[in-house]
């Protein structure tokens, strides 16, 4: 697994295990919400200083962001979205 994917996997895993929404983690770590989303999608390339702030915010050692997942492990689930109301589909007439 590449480094970006590994960091994204572990940040999401820790964040979801603790019930921390992505937006809250971004705010607490002093990062823009869209950047944190990019980190989750592996499109952002975080600096070591940013990874250190994220680890500190999650209250884990920096090395926890580089832990290899077990073989065959499924990707961490996402938290339920709380910002958007549920859309109900209308019937077509």
Model pLDDT, residue 82: 56
- CA angle, 12 as apex, 9 and 14 as ends, to 5°? 105
Domain that includes residue 34, residue range = 3-64
- Amino acid 58: pLDDT: 94
Taking alpha carbons only, the member of 57, 70, 85, 84 closest to residue 39 is 57
For helices 33-40 and 22-29, what crossing angle results, to 10°?
A: 120
More confident residue, 52 or 85: 52
Measured CA to CA, the distance from residue 41 to residue 86 in angstroms comes to 23
- The whole-number pLDDT of residue 74 equals 73
Structure token pair of residue 24? 């809250």
Residues 73-93 have a mean pLDDT of 60
What tens digit of pLDDT does each residue of 28-82 get?
Answer: 999 999 999 999 899 989 999 999 999 999 999 999 999 988 787 777 777 666 5
Q: Is residue 52 part of a domain?
A: yes
Say which residues have a Cβ less than 8 Å from residue 57's Cβ, sequence separation at least 6. Answer: 25, 28, 29
pLDDT of residue 90: 58
- Residue 48 neighbours by CB distance under 10 Å: 8
Task: Assess if residue 83 is contained within a domain.
Answer: no
In a domain, 47, yes or no: yes
- pLDDT over threshold 70, residue 91: no
Q: Has residue 55 been placed in a domain?
A: yes
Number of domains in the chain: 1
Q: Does the residue 91 lie in any domain?
A: no
């Amino acid at each position: 697994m590449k480094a970006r994917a590994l960091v994204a996997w572990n940040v999401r895993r820790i964040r979801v295990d603790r019930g921390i929404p992505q937006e809250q983690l971004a705010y607490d770590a002093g990062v823009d919400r869209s950047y944190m989303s990019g980190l989750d999608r592996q499109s952002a390339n975080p600096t070591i200083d940013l990874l250190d702030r994220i680890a500190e915010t999650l209250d884990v050692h920096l090395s926890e962001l580089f832990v290899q997942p077990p073989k065959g492990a499924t990707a961490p689930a996402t938290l339920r979205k709380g910002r958007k109301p549920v859309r109900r589909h209308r019937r077509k007439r």
